[in-house]
């Protein structure tokens, strides 16, 4: 017959017993027999309320997700002919995002014949990098993607 290492609902080790005896003990207490370590020899089982176990597991997982910083990517859209004042305004917002720990994706959109001069967009993005200075590092260099040129800055 198959034996299991049993831990009851108060985290007390009961030792190695037959699986049928463990199921009977769990049923007697109105709880469930849950296999927590199937790879162990013999497998480790616990007597507990399965609904409560799933709830606590979901709660722990949710708590661990709260502690993780996703590193959101904020977007800033420009045009090849964006004026100095507009550029500085958008750059100020981008620096605020970087200070909060977010990455910033600069996207220069081309319309109609503007796409014939991608060097304007590259100069614009070079000015952005220069203005960001020591507050940001270029994570992804400017590159054309269809009718847009994108660059990603990450906080230092």
Do residue 41 and residue 106 come from a single domain? no
Give the pLDDT band of residue 149 (cuts 50, 70, 90). Answer: very high
Q: What is the per-residue pLDDT across 48-62, written as a single tens digit (0 to 9) for each?
A: 898 988 998 899 988
Do residue 88 and residue 31 come from a single domain? no
CA-based angle 106:151:132, to the nearest 5? 70
Integer distance in angstroms from the first to the last C-alpha of the chain? 61
Instruction: Give me the pLDDT at residue 104, please.
Output: 93
Instruction: Return d(Cα 73, Cα 151) in angstroms, integer.
Output: 12
Global pTM value: 0.56
- Domain around 48: 3-66
Provide the domain count of the chain.
2
Do residue 7 and residue 35 come from a single domain? yes
Which of the listed residues 66, 94, 114 is the one where a domain comes to its end?
A: 66
Strand partners, 26: none
Cβ-based neighbours of 124, under 8 Å, separated by 6 or more: 78, 80, 82, 87, 108
The CATH number covering residue 30 comes to: 3.10.20.80
Which of the listed residues 12, 34, 66 is the one where a domain comes to its end?
A: 66
């Amino acid at each position: 017959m198959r034996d299991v290492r049993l831990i009851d609902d108060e985290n007390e080790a009961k030792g190695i017993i037959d699986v049928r005896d463990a199921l009977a003990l769990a049923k007697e207490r109105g709880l469930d027999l849950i296999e927590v370590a199937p790879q162990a020899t013999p497998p480790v089982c616990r007597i507990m309320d399965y609904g409560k176990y799933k709830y606590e597991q979901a709660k722990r997982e949710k708590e661990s997700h709260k502690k993780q910083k996703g590193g959101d990517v904020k977007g800033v859209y420009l045009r090849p002919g964006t004026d100095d004042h507009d550029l500085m305004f958008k750059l100020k917002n981008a620096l605020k995002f970087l200070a909060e720990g977010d990455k910033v994706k600069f996207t220069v959109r081309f319309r109609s014949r503007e796409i014939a001069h991608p060097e304007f967009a590259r100069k614009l993005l070079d000015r952005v990098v220069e203005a960001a200075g020591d507050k940001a590092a270029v994570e992804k260099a400017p590159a054309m993607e269809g009718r847009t040129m994108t660059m990603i800055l990450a906080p230092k």
